[in-house]
Amino acid sequence: MILQANSIHHNYGSGQDILNGVDLTISQSGITGLCAPNGEGKTTLLKLIAGLQFPSKGDISVLGQTPSDRPLDLLQRLYFLPSEPFFPKWTPRKIAAYYGPFYPNFNNQLFLETLSDFRADPDKPLDKVSFGQKRRAQLAFALATRTQILLLDEPTTGLDIQGKDQFRRTLIAGTEAGQTIIIATHLLSEIAPVLDHVLVLNDGKIHAHLPLELAQRFYSFNLTTSPLPYGDKGYARRVPGGWLTVHADGRQGNAAFDLETLYLALTDGGLPQPGFDLNTKNFQA
């Protein structure tokens, strides 16, 4: 088992849980998009998985170990890149030479190649570059660690179009090497092409955990000229040219699968999440 969370609760001393009974299982490698409204606990959940914060109640197991114990073996197999990480004011090359050896699978050639693809200078101190250039260096290091588990919080912030494309391609290479990658983001459209699963956190709990390939089979999307009639159990979103609707009916629609619309339908629209039978590989309404 890669990750198992059981009835996780967490608060920051205010008395109100930001996470309120999170149950989560990840048993196969791949890329998971962690989505939630602002303030609903995306970053908190990543920090709990990384062992940087401890749950108020419940337990988490990552690669068979307890993250809050901070075991060295787990720390060498897991990397967490926060949205605003602290990096020394060194050159990227010096950072890799100093910190890279901590991670047994750190790939310096991949690091330099990713910097080059990102058009980031490996020999320019990070305090002398823009935020976007600094973010590229941070991402290049994270991707080069080749840890078994990679946790990324809003990783595409500060990247231009070319940078985002290179980031996606490097992610795919990572999962081909057997990595489990969890990306917390509110910019679903930027990572949707590479996702294997989507994880929706809402009201402090896991609202949905869907394999993307099978979600594409179950949910139908249609572009219409009018909103849904009263009583319709689907969800409609105003888009250029009319309304994009989504239904949990398994039919063929006339519009492409849209992850952002599905996310809104599951959270704001109350669209039902089907059950998934692992034996038959089919959804059950």
pTM of the model: 0.91
Name the domain boundary from 203, 236, 255.
Answer: 203
Of residues 189 and 200, more confidently modeled: 200
pLDDT digits (tens, 9 = 90+) for 119-146: 999 999 999 999 889 999 999 999 999 9
What is the DSSP annotation of 198-228?
EEEEETTEEEEEEEHHHHHHH-EEEEESSPP
pLDDT digits (tens, 9 = 90+) for 18-45: 999 999 999 999 999 999 888 889 999 9
169 and 33 share a domain?
yes
Q: Residue 281: which pLDDT band, with cuts at 50, 70 and 90?
A: very low
Query: Is there a contact between 142 and 79 (Cβ–Cβ < 8 Å)?
Result: yes
pLDDT digits (tens, 9 = 90+) for 204-228: 899 889 899 888 888 999 999 998 9
Is residue 243 domain-resident? Answer: yes
Name the domain boundary from 203, 226, 259.
Answer: 203
CATH number at residue 161: 3.40.50.300
Name the domain count of the chain.
2
Name the domain boundary from 203, 231, 257.
Answer: 203
Query: Structural domain of residue 237, as residue ranges?
Result: 217-284
